[in-house]
Amino acid sequence: MSVGESVESRPRRRASRVVRFALIIGAILLLLFGVPWWTLIATGNDWPTPVFVIGTIVFGLALVLFPLLMFAGHGRGHHDLPAKIADTTLGVVWVLFVWSILGQILTAVLWAAGVGAPARYRIATLVVTVVALVLLLWGYAEAMRVPRIRRVDVPVDRLGRGLDGLRLVLITDTHYGPIDRVRWSRGVTEAVNALRPDIVAHTGDIADGEVSQRREQAAPLADIQASLARVYVTGNHEYFSGAQRWVEHMASLGWEALHNRHLVVTRDGDSLVVAGVDDRTAAGSGVPGHHADHEAALEGADPSLPVLLLAHQPAQVTGAVAHGVDLQISGHTHGGQMWPFHYLVRLDQPVLQGLSRHSERTKLYTSRGTGFWGPPFRVFAPSEITLLTLRSVTGRL
């Protein structure tokens, strides 16, 4: 192959990838919007012609406008109005898609029970519509509320007696975004401070948008109090919206940005290494100096001390195991956020939520997240502010 042929083949490969990606996205959108249309409007309902036409137009317009709004809202410009419309549409259509599939099953059951058409189709349509409406209203309330406190005791084998009972509060995935949640952010701060934490950790995905856009929503983080440390690491969403600027902004709010580094906290003569690594997507982000580096994070740390590691994604626990970390705390999964999306999350992550063990030494706590991403709904996946009380095994002997 000549040099000219090689250069010419690269744009062709790129064009092929773009076409393949567009076809995949198109197929997904057709399913997401097509299944609810088929269940609610088309199949067997025998609606009057005006109802069928109007319903088809509504679903058709939503299908066409959704990707345009998503691009305008979450592209480089981060325009909030189209983002809000697109995110809400995504949540609504996801719930309708899931329950429309179940509606088809209900239709088959009604057919087996001898219910004729169009009654069985209209019954299924009514059930799907009512269930979807209830879940969306409840899911919106769950997403917008200040999270409940989730309390978990975590035994740490190497933790000294002086640190027994250390109160570690974990917040994560606040996702300050197109919906203005300044009041919510203040509520989170008040809830955290009421727990009288020794350490407060934020494990990333602080916002969707640049610091300049989300400054007011993030401002209450400056008022969070901790007796020993306030620490933060980047999540994958920081790499869509100025990761280094968020690292610097969190430092300006008084938080220790653990950008592949650690600090040591001490109480009553016993110490704990608190380390942090960048998100696992950082290396491919193009942001200079950003990549997950456990060795750099733990460089110079006393190997006899227990290690608490902040890492955004549960999948990063393999690095924690390899480097002898005692406890990793993470977020990222949102607990699935909208059932049954958690099945897809589990394809990418080893854990969905809660406390898990990954080696004789290493444990992992995965939060369901404090905020929400995109769709302003949480369905069967409540948000949380987590109070992790670290327990010394020797301290209880």
Closest CA to 243 of 259, 230, 266: 259
pLDDT above 70 as % of the chain: 95
pLDDT digit string, tens, across residues 46-60 = 999 999 999 999 999
Q: 162 pLDDT exceeds 50? A: yes
Structural element, H or E, at residue 392: strand 384-392
Tokens at 301, concatenated: 């740390």
Q: Model confidence over 80-123: pLDDT tens digits?
A: 999 999 999 999 999 999 999 999 999 999 999 999 999 999 99
pLDDT, position 75: 79
Q: Which residue shows structure tokens 């640049």?
A: 210
Q: What is the pLDDT of residue 16?
A: 75
Whether residue 395 is predicted with pLDDT greater than 60 in this model: the reply is: no
Whether the per-residue pLDDT at 31 is higher than 50: the answer is: yes
pLDDT more than 90, % of the chain: 89
- pLDDT band (50, 70, 90) for residue 29: very high
- What gap in Å lies between CA 68 and CA 57, rounded to an integer? 17
Give me the mean pLDDT over the 181-199 stretch: 98
Half-sphere exposure of 99 toward its Cβ, with a 13 Å CA cutoff?
23
Q: What angle do CA 162, 163, 165 make, to 5 degrees?
A: 115
From 342, 325, 326, select the one nearest 334 (Cα to Cα). Answer: 342
**What digits encode the pLDDT tens for the residues 356-372?**
999 999 999 999 999 99
Torsion of CA 210, 216, 219, 221, to 10 degrees: -70
Report how far residue 46's alpha carbon sits from residue 43's, in angstroms, rounded to the nearest whole number: 8
pLDDT surpassing 70 at residue 8:
no
Round to whole Å and give the CA distance between 289 and 295: 14
Residue 239: the pLDDT is 95
Whether residue 277 has pLDDT greater than 70: yes
Query: What average pLDDT does the chain have?
Result: 94
Residue 159, both tokens: 């933790």
Q: Note the pLDDT of residue 397.
A: 44
The pLDDT confidence band at residue 22, using thresholds 50, 70 and 90, is: confident
Contact between 151 and 345 (Cβ < 8 Å): no
Q: Please state the rounded mean pLDDT for residues 251-270.
A: 97
Q: How far apart are CA 259 and CA 249, in angstroms?
A: 13
pLDDT digits 0-9 by tens, 333-350 = 999 999 999 999 999 999
